Amino acid sequence: MNPLSRFKKGAIIAHIIYYARKEPFYGVWLKEELARHDYKISDGTLYPWLARLTNSGYLAMEEKNVEGKIRKYYSITDAGEDHFHKIKRYLEELYKEYMEQ
Amino acid sequence: MNPLSRFKKGAIIAHIIYYARKEPFYGVWLKEELARHDYKISDGTLYPWLARLTNSGYLAMEEKNVEGKIRKYYSITDAGEDHFHKIKRYLEELYKEYMEQ
DNA sequence: AGATCGATATCGATTATCGATATTATAAAA
DNA sequence: TTTTATAATATCGATAATCGATATCGATCT
């Protein structure tokens, strides 16, 4: 474990909010999407986070029947939208700070 | 715990490399500097990381006698410098990605 | 019904973190 | 010289997070 990979781990969670904002997703889709960006996360981390973010009001969950399969689709809420902008503002600060160097 | 605070946790570790690059520091100074930026980290996390980063060759450690007190000063190495630029490049990607939204 | 498939949930083991306490080294005070 | 204080680093047990394997669930196919 090094600082970069540790930093990426934190970014994964932020990305859950990021993606929810673009379009509703379900667990497996998100996991694969994150993997495409070299973000590995295990089910045992992902699903508890989805539940936590739903319970905290950042995400809304809706079960949908897709070709006979039940999928839980997660979408952004107003609180989640608000939180995204906090993340974005923080990321801007961080970026500027690092760019000075 | 929410995505932003989780993300910040990851940034704290990246900041160890970031600060080492500016000037050599010792543990207590770093802890206070991080705290000034609202980054709380406990000793039990900080010191193991300093040791780990030194063992991994990202930081070099030198003991100095400052007004009679022994302080361990940590400074960046070539490998650490290289790693910083990886973090920076990654942060740029992340920033661009978020700015599109 | 039984098998299979796609998806979500759970569980035990491992690892990381926290925060309180211990240790070390020096200097100043009594 | 022995205490006492102080600044810094290191350690340790308890808690929390993560991993990855496995279980479960519901729908469809044969």
What's the CA gap between B100 and B97, in Å, rounded? 6
Question: How is residue A70 written in tokens?
Answer: 């039940």
Average pLDDT over residues B59-80: 88
CA of B5 to C1' of C25 (A): 37
pLDDT at A95 over 80: yes
Average pLDDT over residues B81-85: 96
Residue-level pLDDT at A65: 82
Please check whether residue A34 is in contact with residue A13, taking contact to mean a CB–CB distance below 8 angstroms: no
Residues of chain A with C-beta less than 8 angstroms from the C-beta of B30: none
B38: closest CA of chain A, how far (Å): 12
Average pLDDT over residues A77-100: 95
**B50 interfacial to chain A (CB closer than 8 Å):** no
Task: Give the chain B residue whose CA is nearest to the CA of A1.
Answer: B52
10 Å Cβ neighbour count for A27? 15
- Give the domains, in start order, of chain A with CATH numbers: 3-99 (1.10.10.10)
Q: Let me know if A101 is exposed, middle or buried by CB neighbors in 10 A (0-12, 13-18, 19+).
A: exposed
pLDDT, averaged across chain B: 92
Residue-level pLDDT at B42: 93
pLDDT digits (tens, 9 = 90+) for A35-62: 988 899 999 999 999 999 999 999 999 9
Residue-level pLDDT at A73: 94
Residue-level pLDDT at A90: 95
Residue-level pLDDT at B54: 93
Residue-level pLDDT at B65: 81
* Coarse DSSP helix, strand, coil percentages of chain A, rounded to the nearest 5 percent: 65, 15, 20
Average pLDDT over residues B68-87: 92
Residues of chain B with C-beta less than 8 angstroms from the C-beta of A94: 11, 91
- Contact flag, residue A68 CB and nucleic strand D, below 7 A: yes
Residue-level pLDDT at A25: 94
Cβ neighbors of A28 (< 8 A, separation 6 or more) are: none
